[in-house]
Amino acid sequence: MANVYNWQLGRDMEYPYEPAVPAKQIAWVFDTNKCIACQTCTIACKTTWTSGRGQEFMWWNNVESRPYGGWPLGWDVRLLNKLGAQEWENHSGVMKYEGKTIFEAAQGTGEAALGWKPESDDWSSPNLGEDECSSTVKEGDYITIPHMPWMFYLARICNHCSYPSCLASCPRKSIYKRKEDGIVLIDQGRCHGYQECVKNCPYKRPMFRPTTGMSEKCIACFPRVEQNLVTRCVENCIGKIRVQGWISPHDKPVEDNPIDYLVHIKKVAVPLYPQFGLQPNVYYIPPKHVPVSFLNQMFGPGAENAVKTYSVAKEDPNIIGLLMLFGATDRIIERFKVTAQEAIGYTEKGEELVRVPITEPAVVRPFHDEKAGTYRLSIT
């Protein structure tokens, strides 16, 4: 076991391998407040990567509903249950995780990490329980568990973690994290289908393909990323909830890097289950309407402040500008600038990629179309 620093926990932790920090680390920010679960991302991924035989039940990208949905069934609550209640503590305003990560919880058990392996049935329903939370908010209701007339959609891909549990758990050393971009891949030339990665990835992103006898997972569309293109799920998101880029080390944030600004500087985007200890690289802007206790469990102690910052985003032109840049181009935005009227995305070298207005101009057309000699159904 090596000692590695996990900035999301505010402390060192035990990990089976020495840290190997990539030259760049791929990262995403997903705004849960904008997701409508249209599953366009899911289908974009499916048609690109998993349309083959034996991949019928495989969704490298999925969108599930919360609090009751989830795929595979109960992927997070079953692990939370195994891990047990854990504590965060406030050290002079810095939250430090005092509990055990899944690596630390497994010490002495002969396992690389605490985990559980879903059965086939657990993979068979993409979002079982998605309608359980549908009810009407009555006058006088207040939002609290267990009476919860609230829900939100959680879009998920592989987190391409800084300390991947799949990689740590593979006895074949079939899984590697790329030096150039931090993308985590399963080497299909070495995988023997033992499914230790399936068992120990807390996010349940590696999936077994029975027709090849090997496991597969989200590959972050690496052939696209190598050409500075965003992943298919990001490109096709019609709600424009996603932005993709590179995250800097937590202590060296770059102010005009979109991911750094949202994650490190404004802290409006927070990791998914940081307490597991993998330092995941998909960051979420948490839903505004969900009880804080639930958000703290799912996104760590930074969730409450993230919601507060997001709720007053209009006071920060940079956040508003960045939100406008979400989904605005199929190229990876590495730098950004916000003016009074526009948000502009650039490459790292300063090449302009996209320019969008902060406020969409409202155009009202005459009700009667003189040229066509007819009345318009829509005039805005």
Partner 1 sequence: MRIQKQNVFIVAVAFLVVSLTIYAENMKTAALSPKWEKIKAVQIQLMPQSIAMPNGGSMKTVSVQGAVQNGKVYFRVSWKDATKNQTHTGDKFADGAGLMFPTTKSALTSPFMGDANNPVLIWQWRADWQNPDAMKKEIAEAYPAYADWYPPHEKPFFEKLGRHPEKGKAGVYLAKGFGTLTLQPVTSVDVIGVYDEAKKMYTVVFSRSLTSQDEKVQFKAGGTVDFNIALWDGSQKERGARKSVSMSWQQVKLGK
List of residues contacting partner 1 (CB under 8 A): 16, 51-54, 56-57, 110-112, 119-120, 123, 169-173, 188-196, 208, 210-214
Interatomic CA distance for residues 97 and 87, integer angstroms: 6
| Shortest distance in whole angstroms from residue 108 CB to partner 1 | 11
**Minimal distance, residue 172 CB to partner 1, in Å:** 6
Choose between 127 and 169: whose C-beta lies nearer to partner 1.
169
Give the whole-angstrom CA distance, residue 343 versus residue 359.
10
CA nearest neighbour of 166 among 275, 15, 21: 15
**Residue 195 or 281 with smaller CB distance to partner 1:** 195
Between 155 and 278, CB nearer to partner 1: 278
Q: How far is the CB of 17 from partner 1 (least distance, A)?
A: 11
Do the beta carbons of residue 200 and residue 115 sit within 8 Å?
Answer: yes
Least separation in angstroms between residue 114's CB and partner 1 is 12
Q: How many CB atoms lie within 10 A of CB 363?
A: 7
Q: Which is nearer to partner 1, 190 or 376 (CB)?
A: 190
Is the CB of 18 or the CB of 251 nearer to partner 1? 18
Cα 211 to Cα 229: distance, rounded to the nearest angstrom = 31
Residue of 13, 33, 93 whose CA lies nearest to 269:
33
CB of 84 to partner 1, least distance (A): 21
Q: Report, in Å, the least distance between residue 4 CB and partner 1.
A: 17
We find the least distance from the C-beta atom of residue 306 to partner 1, in angstroms, to be 35
Q: Whose structure tokens read 């990539």?
A: 22
How many helices (DSSP H) and strands (DSSP E) are in the chain?
Answer: 11, 19
As measured in angstroms, the least distance from the Cβ of 120 to partner 1 is: 5
Q: Is 97 left (phi over 0), alpha (psi -120 to 50) or beta?
A: beta
Helix, strand, or coil here: 223? helix
Angle at which helix 303-311 crosses helix 292-299, to 10 degrees, equals 120
Measured from the Cβ of residue 138, the count of other Cβ atoms closer than 10 Å reads 8
Between 210 and 357, whose beta carbon lies closer to partner 1?
Answer: 210
Q: Which of 168, 185, 276 lies closest to 225, judged by CA? A: 185
- Pick 193 or 291: Cβ nearer partner 1: 193
Which one, 147 or 192, has the nearer CB to partner 1? 192
Residue-by-residue DSSP string for 269-303: SEESSGGGSS--SEEEE--TTS-HHHHHHHH-TTH
